[in-house]
Amino acid sequence: MAAGDGLGEPSAVLGAGVSAARILGIGTAAPAGELDAAASLRFARTLSPETELSRLRELYEAAGVSRRGSVLIDGDGRQDLYREDAGRGPGTAARLALYYDAACGLAAESATRALARAEMRASAVTHVVTVSCTGAQSPGVDHGLIERLGLSRDVSRAHIGFMGCHGAINGLAVASAIVRAEPGAVALVACVELCSLHYHVRGSWDQQVANAIFADGAACAVVGGGDRGPALAGFASRVFPGTAGLMRWAVGDRGFEMGLSARVPGVLRRSVGPWMDEWLGRAGLARSGIAGWAVHPGGRDILEGVRQGLELPEASIEVSRRVLAEHGNMSSGTVLWVLDAMLGAGARGRIVVMSFGPGLSGEAALVEVGPAGAA
């Protein structure tokens, strides 16, 4: 049975004699520079003065983001990349020139924390899976991690790029397959996104919405075998039909361009329940058997669409709301922030980890903490 074909007990999913891959530790990191909601609104007003102030204010008040990190903000709250007289803003090359060093620094910080949580030396890592959709450079962050963490120069590397907000789950699926295929393997899944490099000056309303919710941050997970740590029991993917234009991410002349339709929450409200019922049902499970839902906080309305689609109580997405409020949408790694917070609060039993990205596409993982089905 393939890694993404089923779920339930790890032994049932993986087949007799095959151990489950497990999350041995998660680490997160955010930039020291930070914008609160008021500063974000002032920034938006300065760089998009033609947009009606009342409309911008309503957007930022409704975004659900109280503060968020940016690698562009110094200790005095200043930034130099975007200028009031910059027309449409800096070109893509100027933006990406800032990516590598900042991305490597945040990724290494979160990886160091993940390794410490896993009680593991960097020399034990056999595979690195990097995840990012906000930068493009080769050699990439994988090489930066080898240098900064002192990883083996024989470490195997893979990169998952341009998958958007569900990239962490794709990374976990790759790491799970590696660990199951190679006894003794330890995979470091490193997600890092610098969304603030792609802030849109005088952009479309879709791009203004992206400006209001996206942020910078990193999250890493150490994945290995054995019998400790939450088990990665199964994965699921779904491309929702007829939605290709609702969420998109493309390279433009003035940064990467995000398209985010207001229809996305409604599509998820109608589609996510049937998708989960099909996936869980194949293993004889139901939504009622899931102890927790780690939902990527793509935005306030997206979270609410998922909650309603799954018929969940308000409290079920409170951790996701809190991560959105305190850090914004950090794209691929954000759902690991949510899962880490849930595990830190003592969550046990079956947890569904869920994210959505361009396509419109959904990715999910079943994580089992302690005895399957335990509350």
The per-residue pLDDT for range 148-160, each reduced to its tens digit, is 999 999 999 999 9
Measured CA to CA, the distance from residue 147 to residue 109 in angstroms comes to 13
Cβ proximity of 256 and 135 under 8 Å:
no
Give me the helix-helix angle, 334-344 and 167-181, nearest 10°.
70
Q: What pLDDT is recorded for position 304?
A: 96
Q: What is the pLDDT of residues 114-143, one digit of tens each?
A: 999 999 999 999 999 999 999 988 899 999
Q: For residue 4, how many other CB atoms are within 10 A of its CB? A: 18
Please list, in sequence order, all residues whose beta carbon lies within 8 angstroms of the beta carbon of residue 212, skipping any fewer than 6 positions away.
Answer: 40, 44, 59, 60, 63, 65
Entry pTM: 0.91
Q: What is the pLDDT of residues 315-336, one digit of tens each?
A: 999 999 999 999 999 999 999 9
Q: What is the pLDDT of residues 63-75, one digit of tens each?
A: 999 999 999 987 6
* Closest-CA residue to 241 (of 367, 98, 360): 360
Looking at the chain, how many residues does it have? 375
Please list, in sequence order, all residues whose beta carbon lies within 8 angstroms of the beta carbon of residue 181, skipping any fewer than 6 positions away.
Answer: none
Architecture of domain 229-369: 3-Layer(aba) Sandwich (3.40)
| Residue ranges per structural domain of the chain | 229-369
Give residue 5's pLDDT band: very low, low, confident or very high (50, 70, 90): very low
The gap from C-alpha 82 to its chain's centroid, in whole angstroms, comes to 25
Residue in this structure with the two tokens 């109608």, named with its chain if needed: 270
Q: How far is CA 294 from CA 24, 303, 337, 347, in A?
A: 18, 11, 9, 11
